[in-house]
Structure 1
Amino acid sequence: MIPSVDIDVDPSFPAGLAMGLPDEEDVDEEGYGYFRGVWTLGEVSHEEAVSMIEEERRLVTLVDQASRTQDEFEAMAKAVEEGELDYLPADYAARHPDSELVRVLDEYAEDGSPLDALELGVAGLSYALTSVGCFTAASCRSHYSDRSWSDRPVIFFAAERPTVHWLTPLLSQSGCGFADGSERADRLLIVEAPSVTNFMDLASRIIQQAERQGPVKPSVDV
């Protein structure tokens, strides 16, 4: 059961907002934008983004099929993110020892989660955005708990104006929208959506568009 929230999103090009990549001296080991517990992804290749998107979709499907409530989705998603069976709902592993979700988590106990310490549902889009020249600063899939710092799935990012223009129709097609993230830092935008399913759709569309058109053009009239 993948959670969804009832929100309106605005997929139109955010013409009135400042855009551009952060200056190098403004990015440190804590990332950019006064977030806590974040880091910089660095360079992400097209192939790395494709791999992350595919693995994330597989994991989201497993959790979606196994969970019946938002509480269960939250617990199972956390187990996948941490790579630990202990985060599953009580007695789930004992009651379903042959489930694929349990098998996957058994594998992660040794190798760790493949999500690169990102959350389930935002990892693929974070990789996709970075692979086309965006700078991702922070993300949250939105949690069914009191500890969630966002009430909907969000990714804070910075990008040059041509890249944002290139992304705009893809947001509309996937049910995502833009918002202003500049309260955190100059030139930060937000991509937001009702559900991580929208994020996964957008991630796939970004990769497909990049494969059809190549890199984002360096300039465009907007």
Structure 2
Amino acid sequence: MIPRIDLQVDPSFPAGVPMRMPPEDEVDEEGYGYFRGVWDISGTSHAEALTVLEEERRIADLVDQAATTREEFEAIATAVEDGAPDSLPAGFADKDPNSEILEIVGDGDDRDVPVLEGLELGVAGLSHALSSIGCFPAASCRSHASEHSWSDRPVVLFAAERTTVHWLTPLVSESGCGFGDGSGHGDLLLVEAPSITNLMDLASRVLAKAARQS
């Protein structure tokens, strides 16, 4: 099961929220927006974003089928993201030794290529989709079943021009997501949702619309 929370979202155009791309002199190798542990993924191509999203959906389906509780989802998703078999629920490997999840997680050795380009399950696809249409993804969080989660709901923070936000607005509404004000971290918007399922749906809609208009 993929966790879902009770969240009222506002999909309307976010009037009054800053809308601009970050100045070049305010972007460095750690991105933009006073976050830690982030990096610049601007300039993603459509093909690259589609590859990330397709992999994300595949993994999300596997975790969805394997997890029966929010806690199990957290444990399995963390193991996949970090390549950390010790994070899997107790007895997971014994219960299903042929699980594709075990292959994705690996044996705990450092990976040459991180899963989902190093981003979290459920927000990686949207982050790259936004990048591919000229936005600047600044930070993201799928929300975690622990007190250490920095967001209590799935969220992607990004910078974008006003015309791009207008372009995005109907897609945000159709996918069950909402906009919010992320300006506490710079001139940023955010997209939030009750579940990562909504964010993955939004990513699909963004890439499909961009492909139709190319």
Identify whether the pair has TM-score above 0.5, normalized to the shorter chain.
yes
Query: Which amino acid in 1 is paired with 2:7?
Result: I
Gaps of 5+ in 2: none
2:201 is the counterpart of 1:198:
no
What is aligned with 1:220? Answer: none
Asked if 1 retains the 8 angstrom alpha-carbon contact of 2:85 and 2:108, the reply is: no
User: What is the DSSP-based 3-state SS (H/G/I as helix, E as strand, rest coil) of the residue aligned with 1:145?
Assistant: coil
Letter in 1 for 2:175: S
Residue 114 of structure 1 aligns with an amino acid whose one-letter code is V
> Quick one: percent identity of the two aligned structures?
62
**Counterpart of 1:90?**
90
Report the secondary structure of 1:147's partner residue. coil
- 1:111 is displaced (CA, Å) by 4.3
| CA distance, structure 1, for counterparts of residue 131 and residue 36 of structure 2 | 20
Aligned to 1:80: 80
Structure 1 residues 85-124: aligned runs within 5 Å: 85-106=85-106, 111-124=112-125
* Structure 1 segments of 4+ aligned residues over 2 angstroms from their partners: 103-114
Match of 1:182 in 2: 183
Distance 1:70 1:174 in 2: 22
Instruction: Give the 5 Å matches for 1:1-222.
Output: 1-106=1-106, 111-185=112-186, 187-214=187-214
The 1-side partners of 2:31 and 2:49 are apart by 20
Q: 25-34 or 73-82: which moved more? A: 25-34
Structure 1's 29 and 52: CA in aligned 2 closer, same or farther, altered over 3 A?
A: same
Q: How many residues align?
A: 213
**Shift of residue 108, structure 1, vs aligned partner:** 8.4
1:62-114: CA deviation from partner (whole Å, max 9, x where unpaired): 00000011110000000110123221111211222111211332388554432
**2:185 match: secondary structure:** coil
Whether the 8 Å CA contact 1:85–1:93 is kept in 2: the answer is no
Q: TM-score, normalised by structure 2?
A: 0.95
CA–CA distance in 2 between the matches of 1:207 and 1:108? 33
- 1:122-176 CA distances to partner (integer Å, 9 max, x unpaired)? 0000000000000000000000111101010011100011100000000000000
Which consecutive residues of structure 1, in runs of 5 or more, have no partner in the other structure?
215-222
